[in-house]
């Protein structure tokens, strides 16, 4: 059976004449074709009127909330992804949240976003490589240890110390400065990564294992 992957896109304003656009990095196409050969990747338009109708018609086996645009700076995308997260929760759609995606998930669960994590933690996460600590025996087993190196392209972020217990998010990766790098939802098949699996440069085996398990088993962390 063909795996259908639906993925959100960044909002881009053309700088030569008025023309708002949706855009998706080609890295995603190359990466997803590599780990899921034969899959079909469908970018989601930011301005569709009926999100539920679109998703029901596509019936994805994997939904991805991708990178780009800080939360609060792209109103059409913010509205789209808010609806997507609600629908994915109701229909138990395996969903991967990457970089901005993690921040969107956290914000929608009522957690605070830090606009400038460099100022708060003195950690640089813009075009940098850094270590993250892995928590929990199962995730350590997947990672092959309790520390992995990841890439980083963000300055808006989430602090583990500010996660609300009732938000349902369970962290499994964070930095020395307490920046949330990986989490799952305790009830829904939601996996969130602050780093970019599609760009490489980090622990690609861990990314492959996490994403494959998400597609094959949904909330696999609840089976352990």
86-98 tens-digit pLDDT: 999 999 999 999 9
CATH fold of the domain at 4-223 = Rossmann fold (3.40.50)
Residue 224 CA to residue 104 CA, distance in Å, equals: 27
Residue 111 CA to residue 36 CA, distance in Å, equals: 33
Contact 159, 179 (CB under 8 A): yes
Number of other residues whose CB lies within 10 A of the CB of residue 172: 23
Residue 7 CA to residue 3 CA, distance in Å, equals: 13
**Global pTM value:** 0.96
For the cut 90, the answer to whether the pLDDT of residue 200 exceeds it is no
For the cut 90, the answer to whether the pLDDT of residue 192 exceeds it is yes
For the cut 90, the answer to whether the pLDDT of residue 140 exceeds it is yes
98-130 tens-digit pLDDT: 999 999 999 999 999 999 998 989 888 889 999
Question: Where along the chain do its domains lie?
Answer: 4-223
What is the full DSSP assignment across 77-115?
HHHHHHHHHHHHHHHT--EEEETHHHHHHHHHTTPPPBS
């Amino acid at each position: 059976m063909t795996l259908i992957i639906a993925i959100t896109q960044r909002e881009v304003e053309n700088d030569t004449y008025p023309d708002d656009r949706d855009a998706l990095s080609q890295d995603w196409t190359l990466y997803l074709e590599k780990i899921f050969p034969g899959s079909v990747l469908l970018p989601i338009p930011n301005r569709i009127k009926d999100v539920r109708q679109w998703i029901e018609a596509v019936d994805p086996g994997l939904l991805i909330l991708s990178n780009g645009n800080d939360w609060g700076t792209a109103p059409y995308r913010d509205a789209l992804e808010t609806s997507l997260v609600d629908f994915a929760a109701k229909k138990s759609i395996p969903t991967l949240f990457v970089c901005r995606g993690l921040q969107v998930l956290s914000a929608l669960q009522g957690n605070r976003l830090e606009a400038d994590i460099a100022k708060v933690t003195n950690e640089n996460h813009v075009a940098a490589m850094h270590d993250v600590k892995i928590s929990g025996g199962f995730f350590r087993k997947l990672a092959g240890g309790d520390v992995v190196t990841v890439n980083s392209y963000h300055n808006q972020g989430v602090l583990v110390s500010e996660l609300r217990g009732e938000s349902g998010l369970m962290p499994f990766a964070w930095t020395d400065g307490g920046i949330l790098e990986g989490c799952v939802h305790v009830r829904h098949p939601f996996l969130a990564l602050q780093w970019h699996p599609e760009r490489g440069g980090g622990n690609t085996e861990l990314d492959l294992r996490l994403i494959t398990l998400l597609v094959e088993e949904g909330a696999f962390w609840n089976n352990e």
